[in-house]
Amino acid sequence: MEQAGATAGATGDGAVPATAETTAKTTTEPLLGIGELSTATVWPASAVVAPGGDIAVAGVSLAELAERYGTPAYVLDEDEVRARARAWRRALPDAEVVYAAKAFLCRAVVDWVEEEGLGLDVCSAGELELAATRGFPADRIVLHGNAKSPQDLRTALRLGVGRIVVDSACEIARIAAQVPGPDPQRVLVRVLPGIEAGAHAKVRTGAEGQKFGLSIADGDAADAVARILGQSPLELAGLHCHLGSQITDAEPYAEAVRRVVAFLADIRDRHGVTLPELDLGGGFAVAYLPGDPAPAPGVYARSITEALAEACARYGLPLPRLTVEPGRSIMAQAGIALYRVLAVKRTGGRVFVAVDGGMSDNPRPALYGARYTVRRVGRASAAPMRTATVVGRHCEAGDVLAEAVELPEDIRAGDVLAVPASGAYQVSMASGYNMTGRPPVIAVSAGRSRLLIRRETFEDLRQRDVGL
């Protein structure tokens, strides 16, 4: 693919100045509807098939990005992030949409979230401090966590976050004792509605008997509500629940609404208090493989708002202020991981394609059995497609990035592979395993690329090692 406006050559780690342009000049075709990608909602809307076997995203060649910034690397389509944030706001115009920062956060994302009018859901003092460095309004921040550290709470109270979600009874006095005053700190109680939902047992967080929240059924939630109402430094603003992740059906949210609204009515009847807020968390599904079920925000929104109206009418309650916390559904499809093939091994009737990344930058397959699709970019050929397994470089048999994917039979060392739907829970969960260094993140928009997070180098790792 021909490129225009390229700046000086790469540095030692493959990066270039943040203003580098990699604008695609050649004619491209929409990625959707082309051959095997006809149902590939896994790619950003801007993705197009380009000559030479390449793919361009936001007008930028993926093969060229791999050359300029090195691999492994993560590419993030800024306009896709913004479009998905707007889709949630359109779906729920009267609700508060709060981006779940744990999916992926950096300074640029903080800015995008604020500019699109979303709030921010954080889980640590580190995420809080990062938001503060960008001047994100503290009253639009929600602090979560089943085990908040003293530093987490001190930072939240110092910055004046809008809401703290109480996840266990022991937090109540701890928070109340630190409120600087004179205004009370607004809190939500995270409740367990007793609903099994989510793609994997490890990401189902609304069921009984796990580490998050306080059970409605066994009375823990009711006890926490009573204790908070007795603490003058705290203002109980409402209830929170989170069912899990990768929930492909809107009905669990509707059932959660019915159960939590019933509890709101019970609180009113016991204490004479009508709580004004209901936060339903996130967990909305995205497509990782072509054809995966991934309802649009409007599908979830209709189910939630209809159930909320019916339940509140049944119990004679006013409609509470609704909050949702999409993270993955905003970020996942905006991201693409780029790897370079290091080795191809044909053994035991299988083809293993080993790349220069792996579970250190994407632990999801090892943790949850997550599945991805993979495409070679930057080299065209007429070779037939064959089933292969893409594996990482780490010393674990479970370091598998993608099982049973179709790749050209002539795949070889040096080829570049693109893995779509990689924007969420990959860089944010990256580790330093084998001291390989975490990958860079590059934003693309309107034919230009810029570095958001540089590659972690050995010097970064060495400086942390102070045990001489």
**119: three-class secondary structure by DSSP:** strand
268 known ligand binder: no
Number of H helices, E strands in the chain: 12, 24
Which residues make Cβ contacts (< 8 Å) with residue 363, sequence separation at least 6? 429, 430, 431
The dihedrals phi and psi of 277, each to the nearest 5 degrees, come to -130, 145
Query: Token pair for residue 281?
Result: 């968390």
316 known ligand binder: no
Task: List the beta strands (DSSP E) in 85-241.
Answer: 96-100, 119-122, 141-143, 163-166, 185-192, 214-215, 234-240
CA distances from 298 to 35, 86, 254 (A): 29, 12, 14
AA identity, residue 434: N
Q: Is 395 a catalytic residue?
A: yes
253 known ligand binder: no
Residue with tokens 């981006």: 99
Cα separation, 239 vs 187, whole angstroms: 9
327 known ligand binder: yes
AA identity, residue 74: Y
364 known ligand binder: yes
**CB 207, CB 196: distance < 8 Å:** yes
Sign of CA dihedral 8, 12, 15, 17: negative
Q: What is the DSSP string of 130-181?
A: HHHHTT--GGGEEE--SS--HHHHHHHHHHT-SEEEE-STHHHHHHHHH--S
AA identity, residue 106: C
325 known ligand binder: yes
Q: Which of 123, 170, 241, 395 is catalytic?
A: 395
AA identity, residue 16: V
21 known ligand binder: no
258 known ligand binder: no
Q: What angle, rounded to 10 degrees, do the helices at 125-133 and 150-159 form?
A: 30
**127: three-class secondary structure by DSSP:** helix
Cα separation, 79 vs 72, whole angstroms: 22
Cα separation, 178 vs 174, whole angstroms: 7
Cα separation, 198 vs 242, whole angstroms: 10
Query: Token pair for residue 428?
Result: 């944010």
396 known ligand binder: yes
Q: Residues annotated as binding site for substrate?
A: 328, 364, 368, 396, 425
What is the set of active-site residues?
Answer: 395
Residues contributing to the annotated binding site: 283, 325-328, 364, 368, 396, 425
Binding-site residue ranges for pyridoxal 5'-phosphate: 283, 325-328, 425
